[in-house]
Structure 1
Amino acid sequence: MSIPDPSGPPGASGTSKTLHHGLQVLELLVTHPQGLSLTEIAEGIGVHRTVAHRLVRTLEAHHLCRRDRFKRISLGTGLVRLAEPVEQDLRTLARPVLEELTDAAEASAHLVVRENAEQVRMLMIVEPRQARMHVAFRSGQLDPIGRGSAGLAMLAARPAVAGEREEVARARERGYAVSTGEIAPGITGISAVVPTGRDAAETSIGLSLFEAPDPDRLGRLVVAAAHRLGALLK
């Protein structure tokens, strides 16, 4: 359960050992959205339980982690506040790209970000101005990463793994993911990962519509939009 240390040994010249361990706690909790016990955290970052206790208490004071009634520790709401400026910049850059996509496809366009190892979050949806009917979703909605085109596109951006869904492999081949009825009955989603040059796929852009008579054309529109946004984010 331990996490890799990409920054070298704690206490290296010019670094803070305590801050290093505190960030390790947060990184560990990201990979365990169901929460961890204090002992599991101590073992995960390789420190004594007393040190882990002080780290968690400090993070709790800043609302960066929290304990449930079973004393399991998970990420706190303070992280949302810290992330808001970054997400606001992302929304600002994405809006004109989404508006262009929704006009071209005459369907609702969405921006989805990875929330944790198991979930994705709808960050923004732009509805078409001309279509007679369109799909509407609530911003902030959380969905499993393994269901729906947005999460499937993120999974497809990773190397293949044993037992993965056929839809993930197909998305990897095509460059975009397609799903029907996985997030809402009768709704088709078409999504592609936004290329940012980072190792992990954290953002996808896509369409939600009632019918997709030509998914290849829509897929090409989505991929082109994803690349436009990726160029803005680099």
Structure 2
Amino acid sequence: MTLVLAAHGTRDPAGAVAVEQIAAAVRLRLPGVDVEVAYVDVRSPSLTEVLRSVVGPAVVVPAFLAAGYHVRVDVPQQILLSGCPSVTVTPALGPDDLVLDAVYDRLVAAGWGYGTPVVLAAAGSSDTRAVADVHRAARRLSVLTRSAVQVGFITSARPSVPEAVASCRGRVAIASWLLAPGLFHQRLADMGADLVSEPIGAHPRVVELVVRRALAAGIVDRSIMLVGQ
């Protein structure tokens, strides 16, 4: 069985590196499992191309932080086009609590301290369900930061990140709700906050979540001892 990590894709080489780092860490946790990286947009290989090269069943883990258009439409379409006869698709990574733990760690590493207002900055979507996922993530992050967390979108939804930052008083921190570096993350530096956390990347909690998704989908026998546990 093959595990395919399906990401959005970016023209920024650092974004591809981040996805490959997640895949490499998953390979260490799941020895003997073929772990491949595919992209739904912008970058190759596409999910269709990767699945066409797979021999046997495949498990696709959408490396997205909300179940928007790419997860609900692009992923199923590309699977259908591949002709792969046996594909299991897991839920997207967000807004799982493990991802929020990673976001919190990145925020603290950027210099955030208790009492500083936080804006959770997401890419944005026209899909109301994806927007709702971001708001759920903000509520979880507010528990971790022990204060209200505002939501801001980089595109396609309101409020915008600058609007959310402007609504806060005093020093403001942006928590990046982005998986990998790219144009969207670069824009955050100019959106009025005093500090911006790094993208989530190959944080151990994200790697753990991918492994859990794979196990739940039956990628390996649960009785097998996994490396790193």
Larger radius of gyration: 1
The bucket for the TM-score relative to the shorter chain is 0.3 to 0.5
Q: TM-score, normalised by structure 2?
A: 0.33
User: Whose relative contact order is higher, 1 or 2, with alpha carbons under 8 Å and at least 6 apart?
Assistant: 2
Q: TM-score, normalised by structure 1?
A: 0.33
